[in-house]
Structure 1
């Protein structure tokens, strides 16, 4: 650069540039004398100084440009990062968006799968915008979407016959008043002040007192902060988390089960309502009125007894050690589970068995799998009983095509049988079909065949996708025989067989479910 300037500039242009560079219009012109050698030497020296200044200015400008570019990139990345942090904080700290934020964390949520970017390179999404778009879309379709009515059949705390109307936006008398398509149920209106609990627990206060109000009383009596005392006395500032309250008779249990017990969600893409338990309280269960194909980790309730279902391979079954009830404890536990040749009894002290087959349970969701030799692998049925007269007994039923297992009170007809007054003589029965798997039905067994294409798991079955056919089966007490309808006599149990709503289940007409000592019946209008 300096060489080009040296060739192109004459002395006059050089003098003007030198003056501008040094910042002085009052700079004297270059000395001109008779000694040309001295003038040329002086001119050459000053040209070198000038070129150095130009080069330094150029390099300085380049460094400034690079610095500005780096700063711009840092600001840009910082702005993007701050934007998403602010959105996350907004969602976490805003009561209106709190439940939507929690819903997005659940990978099993249909709403999560619908709105997240499904490409390989997933990027952060503007959850606030999606949330607002969902609310707006629900407003637009509210005039056309089906309406769900829940009738209270019985309750320990609510009036029998009360009807709850839920549209695609929310429960009509919603306490949250958001209209996001979710209706939350629980025994408390507001959430707990966990921050205060953690803080005062470190200070030595007993937050687990039997009296649910004792914790606040301790703080109010000992704290000098008048503002904090007023906040603890008045909890109206706590965010509302439930749309409908199912009160509990026990204040201590209600305080312990504070939170969202279960939810009902309107699914926009499928145009239906789904129900799911959220793990707080005693759980939400729905009454089986159709054959159910058993899967791993199904939780079944009959009377006071709960049953956990697992499917076990033949290879895993060979490693199990059958206990013969050698000690009094096992004899007592197994007195209602008589040992037979076609199944084995596992006492509740054999904890190693449960640990051994944990991996098998996770990897055996299908009833029949292909092993390394190319053969289908048979899945045996393992059930663990607890609650009521049971104390953790485990029973394994071998997979024999066409075999029937009756469960109930009757010693003559049921094997195993249970001493539970809430059970019917034959409460329910389980059948093994080599084409389908293990099938659970409520009530007494009736000898009939099943077509593989016409049985399923309620919402996913071929028959129950047709709501009219489903209603016909329920009303006329008919069963499916090779795809055709044949009237038979069926005896249902008195108190029903119930499945835990651990995942999203589609609500259909006539569906009965229970939660917090309250029985609901669903109707779509």
Structure 2
């Protein structure tokens, strides 16, 4: 019959958490605040989902995926993604929350206003709003970077002169989408990348780059 001490030892053994990869931190305070499991990777055996997946576990600054760019010279393809409500984007030390307005719009109702709120860095608390009318039929680009010419100027040495830009793409059925691109309008990618928060299970793929805090994985 197990003794009380044995039961206590078994309980302690069951509560031990083993991390496959320990992310180091030079800042003791940050290390204590962000102690815990940041993300997990698992293999899904369901035929329709077969593959490795990653999931953020809500500890620390979150897990972010780098926007992809492909090729060189004339074969270069710029990283791009359609913006969605409540999307979280990271550039340098700044985090940007995306809102598409009006709030509570029906699925087929146009979201004709883009609202961006910045947290962290020198622009903490700044809010920017752009209407569909300001986008000049898709000809205008909203520039984000560290030069004075940018619409959203962020004083951060980690950012490129033009870190990223946003355009509106119109379609033949009169619908449109707000689209985020990494890098300058002419196609030059940013130096340190534009990062998207992984808020849902995401399938890993060859060449994918993601980070947890300041540790980068590929």
Could you tell me which residue of structure 2 aligns to residue 428 of structure 1? Answer: 164
Distance apart, 1:278 and its partner CA = 1.2
Could you tell me which residue of structure 2 aligns to residue 407 of structure 1? Answer: 144
SS in 1 for 2:60: coil
Structure 1, residues 404-425: CA drift from partner, whole Å, max 9, x if none? Answer: 111111112x112122111111
Q: What is the Cα-based RMSD across aligned positions, in Å?
A: 2.3
Compared with structure 1, are the counterparts of its residues 247 and 266 closer, same or farther at alpha carbon in structure 2 (3 Å cutoff)?
same
Give the number of the structure whose residues are more often helix, by fraction: 1
2:51 aligned with 1:272: yes
Q: TM-score, length-normalised on structure 1?
A: 0.34
2:127 aligned with 1:394: yes
Give the number of the structure whose residues are more often strand, by fraction: 2
1:285 and 1:297 map into 2 onto residues whose CA distance is: 15
Could you tell me which residue of structure 2 aligns to residue 439 of structure 1? Answer: 179
Could you tell me which residue of structure 2 aligns to residue 294 of structure 1? Answer: 83
Q: Any runs of at least 4 consecutive aligned residues in structure 1 with deviations exceeding 4 A, and if so which?
A: none
CA contact (8 A) 1:409 1:423 kept: yes
1:282 and 1:378 map into 2 onto residues whose CA distance is: 29
Which residue of 51, 61, 65 maps to 1:282?
A: 61
1:420 and 1:512 map into 2 onto residues whose CA distance is: 22
CA contact (8 A) 2:94 2:124 kept: no
Compared with structure 1, are the counterparts of its residues 297 and 512 closer, same or farther at alpha carbon in structure 2 (3 Å cutoff)?
same
1:445 and 1:287 map into 2 onto residues whose CA distance is: 18
Which residue of 19, 22, 34 maps to 1:257?
A: 34
Compared with structure 1, are the counterparts of its residues 396 and 246 closer, same or farther at alpha carbon in structure 2 (3 Å cutoff)?
same
Which residue of 378, 384, 387 maps to 2:117?
A: 384
SS in 1 for 2:125: strand
Q: TM-score, length-normalised on structure 2?
A: 0.78
CA contact (8 A) 2:105 2:111 kept: no
- Give the structure with higher Rg (CA): 1
Distance apart, 1:241 and its partner CA = 5.0
SS in 2 for 1:420: coil
Q: Which runs of 5+ in 2 are unaligned?
A: 69-78
SS in 2 for 1:392: coil
Q: Which runs of 5+ in 1 are unaligned?
A: 1-226, 314-359, 371-376, 447-489
Aligned length: 190
1:272 and 1:309 map into 2 onto residues whose CA distance is: 30
CA contact (8 A) 2:119 2:125 kept: yes
Query: Which residues in structure 2 correspond to 1:202-281 (within 5 Å)?
Result: 238-240=15-17, 242-269=19-46, 270-281=49-60
Could you tell me which residue of structure 2 aligns to residue 311 of structure 1? Answer: 100
SS in 2 for 1:421: coil
SS in 1 for 2:15: coil
Structure 1, residues 8-31: CA drift from partner, whole Å, max 9, x if none? Answer: xxxxxxxxxxxxxxxxxxxxxxxx
